């Protein structure tokens, strides 16, 4: 248990670290740190946000993380929440040095959250939002039965990743549309029939003015073919599913909102961790630690940014790329000076620009160089003869492209809605945009069952298997394939 005196010391450190971070040019939101026991740390870690709704999958994740911790197999030092003000959680068993490093690391994350453009639309009061979501879901459980709500969430969560990261554009458009429509409503008066005359010459508007509230709602729910294909499968189903009741659509809307919040984090994992690591290192160096603490820090730091054999460590990869960018912009080669007109001494400025503008895909595509690939000894590997994981490629451009491909759509297959009225029968037709890797077919069939639960009518999924177009069908009873 941490003593009050230690908390006082920690408070001092926070002030100091904040000052150093600001001096380096970091610009984080104010951040509140909280010291918590392991059980809370793992809870926040497994739900990704405190106060989220209840679901067995979170319980499963919690159990797994907590068990790993109890057996000493893995340990989370820190959890950070992207809100304004931000929250950083510190494990109560951390040593003072660990805490200092974590605080510096967290400030790096918070600076990234605040300034990276992919987070520009993020809801910074998400903790409040998920809390109201959780309450609403609890009410639905009370009203419709826990099992029913849980099963429904199973199905929604099966496709939660299939949203459009640029959904806010759609929201802006539809908000503008709503506004336009709202403004269009004429005041009631004696000559209303004249308005109707006007509208009947414009068929697109006709429906809006004529319909009762009921009909209007139906119009909205009916699939609009001109907007297809639709990347946001979750949104499309919420909007157009022929079978869902209001509470179910509301549950989808909540999951959608939470995914909108998480997607930028999924898109910038390497950058974000690299950025936090580079700044915790630099801040800690400024702190003038006593020798003993410095050694402990060096040990911790090398643990965080060390290559894992065989795997890619996002902390390490991001860290190395930022360092490399800084070096290349500080002291460019003759070629770089001539070809790109780099003057030198601009490294610091450059990495701040990169942290603002890029996501993992563009970060790797633009800044992973041949020298770096070699230094890090990156390679492509695949399964040979169904048995041995074999290195098949070491040419740096191929390696880079493979890495970028694997990061695309944050590592999930790119799915889209092709038709919501397939066969003229309100059936849902999804397409997997094949980019070289096949789907796990057993999983695809099961996931399709979940889609069927949400859609309520036959569903179809087009993909490619063994280089041939294959369509999976599921009608609620049996699977077919052709």
- Site residues (CB under 8 A) for other proteins, limited to 222-241: none
Give the strand order in the sheet containing 459-465.
415-422, 427-432, 459-465, 468-474, 479-481
Report if residue 412 touches other proteins, rule: CB under 8 A.
Answer: yes
Q: Which stretch binds other proteins (CB under 8 A): 12-20, 240-248, 252-260, 335-343?
A: 12-20
Give 92 or 421: the residue with its C-beta nearer to other proteins: 92
Residue 417 CB, nearest distance to other proteins (Å)? 13
Residues 426-455 that bind other proteins (CB under 8 A): 432, 437-441, 443-444, 446-447, 449-450
Judged by CB, which is closer to other proteins: 329, or 429?
429
**End-to-end Cα, the chain, rounded Å:** 62
Which residue lies nearer to other proteins by CB, 400 or 426?
Answer: 400
Q: Least distance from C-beta 263 to other proteins, angstroms?
A: 15
Does 380 sit near other proteins (CB under 8 A)? yes
CA gap 477, 290 in Å, rounded: 69
In the complex, least distance from residue 482 CB atom to other proteins, rounded to whole angstroms:
19
The answer to the question of residue 299 lying near other proteins (CB under 8 A) is no
Give me the least distance between CB of 56 and other proteins, in Å please.
4
| DSSP helix/strand/coil, 366 | helix
Binding footprint of other proteins, residue count (CB under 8 A): 83
Site for other proteins contains 480 (CB under 8 A):
no
Residue closer to other proteins by CB (options 325, 444) is 444
- Close Cβ partners of 448 (under 8 Å, ≥ 6 residues apart): 459, 461, 472, 474, 479
Tokens encoding 389: 């994981």
Q: For the packed helices 246-267 and 269-286, what is the interaxial angle rounded to 10 degrees? A: 50
Q: In whole angstroms, what is the distance from residue 375 CA to residue 396 CA?
A: 11
Return the residue of 143, 179, 210, 394 that touches other proteins, per CB under 8 A.
Answer: 394
Give the contacts of 335 (CB within 8 A, at least 6 positions apart).
Answer: none
User: 392, 397, 476, 479: which one contacts other proteins (CB under 8 A)?
Assistant: 392
Smallest Cα–Cα separation from 280: which of 421, 88, 134?
A: 88
Please report whether residue 157 would count as binding other proteins according to CB under 8 A. yes
7 binds other proteins (CB under 8 A): yes
By beta-carbon proximity to other proteins, the closer residue of 177 and 382 is 382
Cβ atoms of 98 and 300 within 8 Å: the answer is yes
Question: What is the spatial distance between Cα 10 and Cα 6, in angstroms, rounded to a whole number?
Answer: 6
Site residues (CB under 8 A) for other proteins, limited to 161-190: 161-162
Instruction: Report the residue number, 31 or 272, with the smaller CB distance to other proteins.
Output: 31
Phi, psi (degrees; rounded to nearest 5) at 332: -65, 150
Q: How far is CA 68 from CA 39, 113, 298, 300, 463, in A?
A: 12, 29, 25, 19, 37
Min dist CB 192 to other proteins, Å, is 50
Provide the 10 A C-beta neighbour count for residue 234: 22
Ranges within 301-320 binding other proteins (CB under 8 A): 307-313, 317
Taking the complex as a whole, how short is the minimal distance between the CB of residue 439 and other proteins, in angstroms? 6
Using a 10 angstrom Cβ sphere, with 0-12 exposed, 13-18 middle and 19 or more buried, the burial of residue 440 is exposed
Q: Which of residues 19-78 bind other proteins (CB under 8 A)?
A: 30-37, 39-40, 42-43, 46-47, 54-60, 62-63, 66
Structure tokens at 415: 């799915």
Q: Closer to other proteins by CB, 320 or 355: give it.
A: 320
Site for other proteins in 78-107 (CB under 8 A): 92
Q: Is 418 exposed, middle or buried (0-12, 13-18, 19+ CB in 10 A)?
A: middle
Shortest distance (Å) from residue 355 CB to other proteins: 22
Query: d(Cα 252, Cα 134) in Å, to the nearest integer?
Result: 13
ω into 399 cis (within 30 of 0): no
> Would you say 403 and 384 are in contact if contact means Cβ atoms under 8 Å apart?
no
- Figure out which of the listed residues 81, 91, 159, 321 binds other proteins, where binding follows CB under 8 A: 159
- If one asks whether residue 387 binds other proteins (CB under 8 A), the answer comes out as yes
Question: Which residues in 134-153 contact other proteins (CB under 8 A)?
Answer: 150
What residues between 266 and 295 interact with other proteins by CB under 8 A? none
Q: Name which position in 74, 132, 348, 390 contacts other proteins (CB under 8 A).
A: 390
């Amino acid at each position: 248990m941490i003593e009050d005196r230690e908390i006082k010391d920690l408070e001092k450190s926070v002030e100091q670290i904040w000052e150093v971070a600001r001096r380096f040019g970091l610009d984080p939101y104010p951040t509140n740190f909280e010291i918590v026991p392991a059980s809370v740390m793992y809870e926040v870690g497994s739900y990704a946000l405190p106060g989220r709704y209840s679901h067995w999958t979170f319980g499963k994740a919690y159990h797994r993380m907590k068990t790993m911790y109890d057996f000493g197999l893995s340990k989370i030092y820190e959890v950070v929440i992207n809100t304004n003000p931000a929250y950083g959680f510190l494990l109560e068993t951390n040593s003072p040095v660990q805490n200092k490093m974590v605080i510096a690391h967290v400030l790096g994350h918070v600076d990234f959250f605040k300034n990276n453009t992919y987070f520009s639309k993020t809801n910074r009061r998400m903790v409040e939002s998920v809390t109201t979501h959780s309450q609403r879901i609890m009410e639905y459980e009370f009203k419709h039965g826990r099992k029913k709500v849980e099963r429904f969430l199973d199905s929604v969560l099966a496709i939660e990743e299939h949203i459009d990261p640029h959904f806010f554009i759609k929201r802006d458009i539809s908000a503008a549309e709503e506004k336009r429509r709202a403004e269009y409503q004429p005041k009631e008066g004696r000559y209303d029939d004249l308005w109707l005359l006007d509208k009947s010459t414009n068929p697109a508007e006709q429906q809006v003015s004529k319909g009762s509230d009921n009909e209007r709602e139906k119009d909205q729910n009916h699939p609009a073919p001109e907007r297809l294909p639709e990347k946001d499968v979750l949104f499309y189903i919420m909007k157009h599913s022929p079978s869902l009741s209001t509470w179910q659509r509301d549950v989808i809307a909540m999951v959608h909102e939470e995914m909108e919040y998480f997607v930028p984090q999924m898109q910038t994992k390497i950058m974000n961790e690299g950025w936090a690591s580079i700044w915790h290192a630099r801040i800690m160096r400024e702190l003038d630690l006593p020798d003993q603490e410095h050694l402990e820090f060096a040990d911790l730091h090398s643990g965080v940014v060390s290559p894992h054999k065989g795997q890619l460590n996002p902390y390490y990869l991001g860290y190395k790329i930022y360092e490399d960018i800084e070096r290349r912009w500080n002291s460019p080669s003759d070629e770089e000076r001539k070809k790109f007109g780099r003057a030198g001494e601009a490294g610091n400025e450059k990495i701040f620009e990169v942290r603002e503008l890029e996501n993992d895909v563009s970060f790797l595509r633009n800044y992973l160089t041949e020298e770096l690939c070699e230094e890090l000894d990156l390679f492509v590997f695949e399964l040979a003869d169904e048995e041995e994981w074999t290195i098949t490629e070491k040419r740096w451009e191929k390696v880079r492209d493979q890495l970028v491909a694997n990061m695309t759509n944050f590592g999930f297959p790119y799915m889209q809605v092709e038709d919501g009225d397939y066969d003229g029968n309100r059936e849902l037709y999804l397409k997997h945009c094949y980019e070289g890797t096949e789907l796990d077919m057993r999983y695809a069939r099961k996931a399709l069952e979940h889609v069927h639960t949400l859609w309520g009518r036959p569903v179809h999924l087009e993909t490619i298997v063994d280089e041939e177009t294959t369509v999976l069908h599921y009608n609620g009873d049996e699977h077919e394939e052709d």
